Structure 1
Amino acid sequence: MTLHEIANKILQMNKIGITFHVSPDGDAAGSVLSLCQALRKIGKEAYMISKDAISYNLSFLPFSNMLNGECVKPKDGTDCVIILDCGNKERISAELDNFKGTVINIDHHMSNDLYGDFNYVDVNAAATAEIIYELINILNAPMDSDIARCLYTSLVTDTGSFRHSNATTTTHIIASELLKFNISHSDIHSNIFDNKPYEKLKLTGYVLSNTELMFDGKLAVMEISKDILNKLNMILDDSSDIISQGLQIRGVEGSVLFREVDGGVKVSLRSKKYLNVNKVASVFGGGGHVRASGITMKDISLEEAKKLVLNQIKEEI
């Protein structure tokens, strides 16, 4: 299905819920916020669904206060739910078991399960926001500074401030078009990256000081236990900035972070040039991108998760 066909399906709907993946990052939040505003501009009764509250460093985004974890399922009379930036049904941040309307799935992850009634997945897009930018134009929804700020934030976060290999000429062209709406890229960067609680910096220091190098120094291995989070009296909503620091070590090709959560372990994987972390993640039911992927491992200890995943990485690295 083409994006124009997706747009035509959306135009046939009136009341539309929009959601994303659990623990939404900048791309998920920015994409949902921008599409919701755009649909309202063309007369749709659009609203956002989320079981998660938005993280503190994204709270500067327009209308982000509406992503507060209170609307967790489609409202009565909803014609359609659009799910953005979510590769599989289990990770949707909404309760959709009893929803009988249309589900539209828009994403850029190669591991997407195509779970929607209608699916559009562009694995060449650096961020789902690239797709949403194009969709907004197809829908003839007027762009403004609020929408531009949300989309630019998505691009910045999913490309690592445009330094990752997924950033293309298209990414930079879209970014330049968004900057025409008088948004401050400096303020956006500051809100995202220079806005950490003191406890987060202490946690980062702890994790880095206990990082191990494996496989001839090619892999940085990090972990965060529930004990250390309790000790620092903090709730960790995003660890992407911590794991990315593992890639800053000279000679390292990949970085893996094991985080103990209620009911299991979350695993984040990143790589530089040749390690396909999506291939590693897919073995355990996870997925994402070639250079950035994640896994949720249920009913398993931290040590057991490390043993399984590290053995798989050893085969790939």
Structure 2
Amino acid sequence: MSRPDARRVADTLLHYPACFIATHVNPEGDAIGSMLALALALESLGKEVVCYDRHGVPENCRFLPTWERVVTELPASVPPLVVYVDADRLERCDLSVDHFPHAETFARIDHHTSSAPDPGPALVDTKAAAAGELIFELLPLLDVTLTTDIATCLQTALMVDTGRFSYTNTTPKTHRIAADLLAAGADVPAIVDWIWGSVKFEATRLLGAALSTLQRSADDRIAWAVLRNEDFLSVNATPEDTEGIIDAVRAVRGVEVAALFSEKRGTIRVSLRSRGHVDVAALARQFDGGGHVKAAGLTFDGTMENAICAVIGAIGAALEDQP
């Protein structure tokens, strides 16, 4: 039996002959996989779909079916239905309602917490391991057949956001969905090879640069690393090459909260990870960021030094509130 919010979003998607789908900046496998899966599903119903991400498709996702379709600039004409996926608000896509003066409806499909009201129908489940789980839930409501291409996109979404089913957000439901996707022909070997099995030389060197800056707090409960613009330039790396670095910082024994500070495209991006005692999503919202209890991020306006001081200070204060 479907949930009312899922039914409402499905009915909205079915009502419009065309839609515009966006996902968050600096996207990864869940964002791109979920967006492409939804686009393929809607196109199977004869609808027109535009897929958008300001930063485009990261290199490790350029095996997903129809990834080339994703545009990085807003088209001159946007369909009346705007859908944003894997983002708690349009601003996470570097967009706002003002970008769509002719839009009739906005719909959100997401698994992040949010303090902002949704501008339209929303399918939100913070217990879902990935946005891909919610797209999967919509397929029967849309009367869409689970194809091999859709399955590969959704399996990528699940595997990325669960760390190949190793994170604590993985549930029995996640495994059941993954089994259905595998039965439908999801190309798991390709997913593993592209996402984890093949790392760029530049990305490996960037990991070394980040770990050379690794620091810990006096009580060893916080660890952080820093990447500046010159670090990217010195190894010819791109912002997407930071993928996975935060996990190496989090792996330090005794660390409860990890942070990676990186200058990306002229701004300072901060990735946060927690072992569970600190809600890093709540911490990130102090800086207009967001995410999950154990994984979140934010963008800081200011100098790197001020970012480190402010964020590490906030983490320390949050840890002081823990028993």
C-alpha contact (below 8 Å) 2:288/2:298 kept by paired residues = yes
Which of the numbers 302, 305, 312 marks the counterpart of 2:304?
302
The aligned counterpart of 2:282 is 279
Considering only aligned residues, what root-mean-square deviation do their CA atoms show, in Å?
A: 1.7
C-alpha contact (below 8 Å) 1:277/1:291 kept by paired residues = yes
Amino acid paired to 2:89 = N
> How many Å apart are 1:246 and its aligned residue?
1.3
The aligned counterpart of 1:143 is 146
Which digits, 9 at most, give the CA deviation of each residue in 1:290-311, with x for residues without a partner?
A: 000101112x110110000111
The aligned counterpart of 2:316 is 314
Amino acid paired to 2:87 = C
Which of the numbers 187, 193, 198 marks the counterpart of 2:190?
187
More deviation, 28-37/94-103: 94-103
Q: Find the aligned partners of 1:206 and 1:261 in 2 and give their Cα distance.
A: 15
More deviation, 84-93/223-232: 84-93
Q: Find the aligned partners of 2:316 and 2:244 in 1 and give their Cα distance.
A: 24
More deviation, 221-230/272-281: 272-281
* 2:161 is equivalent to residue 158 of structure 1: yes
- Count residues with an aligned counterpart: 314
Calculate the TM-score normalised by the size of structure 1: 0.94
Task: Flag the 1:203–1:117 CA change in 2: closer, same or farther, 3 A.
Answer: same
Which of the numbers 27, 31, 45 marks the counterpart of 1:28?
31
Amino acid paired to 1:83 = Y
* 2:87 is equivalent to residue 86 of structure 1: yes
How much identity, in percent, do the aligned residues show?
32
Task: Give the gaps of 5 or more residues in structure 1.
Answer: none
Which of the numbers 2, 19, 22 marks the counterpart of 1:16?
19
Q: Find the aligned partners of 1:114 and 1:128 in 2 and give their Cα distance.
A: 19
C-alpha contact (below 8 Å) 2:206/2:241 kept by paired residues = no
C-alpha contact (below 8 Å) 1:107/1:128 kept by paired residues = yes
Q: Find the aligned partners of 1:116 and 1:73 in 2 and give their Cα distance.
A: 22
* 2:116 is equivalent to residue 110 of structure 1: no
* 2:273 is equivalent to residue 270 of structure 1: yes
Amino acid paired to 2:307 = A
Q: Find the aligned partners of 2:303 and 2:264 in 1 and give their Cα distance.
A: 10
C-alpha contact (below 8 Å) 2:37/2:154 kept by paired residues = yes
* 2:102 is equivalent to residue 100 of structure 1: yes
Which digits, 9 at most, give the CA deviation of each residue in 1:27-75, with x for residues without a partner?
A: 1100010000000111212221232220110001000011242x42473
C-alpha contact (below 8 Å) 1:112/1:121 kept by paired residues = no
Task: Flag the 1:117–1:34 CA change in 2: closer, same or farther, 3 A.
Answer: same
The aligned counterpart of 1:243 is 246
Which of the numbers 124, 131, 134 marks the counterpart of 1:131?
134
More deviation, 123-132/259-268: 259-268
